């Protein structure tokens, strides 16, 4: 038995090196990853080495994480949306994508739905700009005993036998919300683009590293009729809903903008005033009818922030730098005088929130409303 083998992971080929382990472990590792094996000989994109001094169950669990992290790192700059999600496919390749945070039901849903659909992943779904999906058929991480690491089992070894179609295409993106206090009858709620981005952004790997990420995600959401949130208590009750969500023909993905969409032409703004508020550096922004979605780079990756109310007007007004008085004028012009309260105080409070959130840079010198 070879002590090394290749697996497919989100479009990357990772070599698993178990040369430091005994033959029994290598057999267990190969059995766990059999659904993701890469057929053919090629140079791996990265190598995941299994250390010699780790107990078998812990080593297999750590290997799953190591392969995932190496695959995501390899593809971090590619125009592929790498979403923390499970995926199931129909016979003709339509895929429902089920996104949620770790430990909130993706693996359980993938295992249950694999009785009727082909398993694509329970960890990460890669979607390119045309809507094509690259699979990651990693072992399922299943709790067998509370005191030990999760067991790593190939789905095909526990009843998942549907073959994977050659071509996969996203049909629907679903934010799953499973809770013991959830509704007895599962509920589906449409999400507008801003709310979808706020929920899906934190579940996206290397969100700030690809080109025009918000524009690309918005285009994919538009092609699939928008994301939905699925609230449920028991996974056994979601079959009919998943059937309905998959009973669509995915539309072509519209052209994707290659850069940030400017909020407005602020050429007349006072960009040299030391008491001007200016935008902090951002990765991308998406201007919607009444809201603006902004992606900002953070030490841990990226943060999606949604501006509503007077926030979009403030964001527009600060494109080239504006004093507080100029921002107040812009807000009053767009929204009118407030029924109660001083407009300067209201705007100053909202501006300070954006400063505290890291979206605006405060003036170089203190400023107050100008008259």
Query: Can you give the pLDDT at residue 178?
Result: 93
335 pLDDT band, cuts 50/70/90, is very high
307-324: pLDDT as tens digits:
999 999 999 999 989 999
Which residues 6+ apart lie within 8 Å of 1 measured at CB? Answer: 23, 26, 27, 30
Of residues 364 and 152, more confidence is placed in 152
251 pLDDT band, cuts 50/70/90, is confident
> How far is the C-alpha of 67 from the C-alpha of 61, rounded, in Å?
10
Mean pLDDT of the chain: 90
> How far is the C-alpha of 226 from the C-alpha of 159, rounded, in Å?
32
The token pair that represents 313 in the structure block: 């007007």
Q: Taking Cα atoms as reference points, which of 289, 306, 350, 295 lies closest to residue 324?
A: 350
Q: Taking Cα atoms as reference points, which of 83, 124, 121, 122 lies closest to residue 105?
A: 122
The answer to whether residues 17 and 33 touch, using CB atoms and an 8 Å cutoff, is: no
Query: Does the structure show a pLDDT above 50 at 281?
Result: yes
Q: What's the whole-number mean pLDDT along residues 38-61? A: 94
Q: What's the whole-number mean pLDDT along residues 57-84? A: 96
Query: Does the structure show a pLDDT above 90 at 306?
Result: yes
Query: Can you give the pLDDT at residue 314?
Result: 97
Query: Does the structure show a pLDDT above 70 at 213?
Result: yes
Query: Can you give the pLDDT at residue 192?
Result: 95
184-197: pLDDT as tens digits:
999 999 999 999 99
Give me the residue label for tokens 């040299």. Answer: 272
100-146: pLDDT as tens digits:
988 778 999 999 999 999 999 999 999 999 999 999 999 998 877 76
Segments in 211-341 forming alpha helices (H): 213-223, 239-246, 311-317, 324-335
The answer to whether residues 360 and 367 touch, using CB atoms and an 8 Å cutoff, is: no
Query: Can you give the pLDDT at residue 261?
Result: 43
Pick from 136-140, 151-155, 231-235, 267-271: least confident: 267-271
Q: What's the whole-number mean pLDDT along residues 228-253? A: 94
Query: Can you give the pLDDT at residue 51?
Result: 95
49 by Cβ neighbours in 10 Å (0-12 / 13-18 / 19+) ranks as middle
Query: Does the structure show a pLDDT above 90 at 161?
Result: no
Q: What's the whole-number mean pLDDT along residues 293-313? A: 93
Which residues 6+ apart lie within 8 Å of 294 measured at CB? Answer: 282, 284, 285, 304, 305, 306, 307, 315, 359
């Amino acid at each position: 038995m070879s002590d090394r083998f290749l697996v497919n992971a989100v479009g990357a080929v990772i070599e698993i090196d178990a040369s430091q382990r005994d033959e029994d472990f290598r057999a267990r590792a190969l059995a766990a990853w059999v659904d993701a094996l890469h057929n053919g000989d090629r140079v791996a994109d990265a190598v995941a080495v299994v250390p010699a001094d780790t107990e078998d169950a812990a080593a297999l669990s750590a290997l799953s994480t190591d392969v995932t992290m190496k695959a995501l790192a390899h593809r971090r700059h590619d125009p592929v949306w790498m979403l923390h999600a499970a995926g199931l496919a129909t016979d003709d390749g339509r895929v429902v994508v089920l996104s949620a945070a770790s430990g909130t039901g993706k693996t359980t849903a993938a295992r249950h739905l694999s009785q009727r659909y082909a398993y694509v992943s329970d960890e990460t779904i890669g979607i390119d700009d045309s809507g094509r999906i690259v699979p990651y058929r990693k072992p399922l991480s299943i709790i067998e005993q509370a005191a030990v690491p999760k067991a790593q089992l190939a789905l095909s070894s526990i009843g998942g036998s549907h073959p994977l179609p050659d071509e996969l295409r996203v049909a629907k993106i679903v934010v799953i919300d499973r809770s013991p206090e959830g509704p007895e009858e599962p509920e589906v709620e449409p999400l507008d683009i801003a709310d979808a981005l706020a929920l899906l952004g934190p579940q996206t790997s290397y969100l700030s590293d690809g080109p025009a990420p918000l524009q690309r995600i918005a285009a994919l959401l538009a092609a699939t009729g928008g994301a939905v949130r699925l609230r449920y208590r028991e996974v056994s009750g979601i079959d009919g809903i998943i059937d309905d969500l998959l009973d669509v023909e995915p539309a072509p993905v519209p052209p994707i903008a290659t850069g940030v969409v400017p909020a407005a032409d602020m050429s007349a703004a006072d960009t040299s005033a030391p008491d001007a508020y200016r935008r902090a550096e951002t990765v991308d922004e998406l201007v919607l009818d009444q809201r603006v979605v902004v992606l900002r780079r953070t030490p841990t990756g990226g943060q999606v922030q949604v501006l509503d109310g007077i926030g979009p007007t403030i964001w527009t007004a600060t494109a080239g730098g504006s004093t507080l008085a100029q921002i107040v004028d812009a807000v009053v012009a767009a929204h009118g005088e407030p029924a109660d309260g001083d407009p300067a105080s209201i705007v100053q409070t909202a501006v300070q929130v954006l400063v505290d959130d890291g979206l605006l840079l405060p003036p170089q010198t203190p400023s107050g409303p100008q008259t």
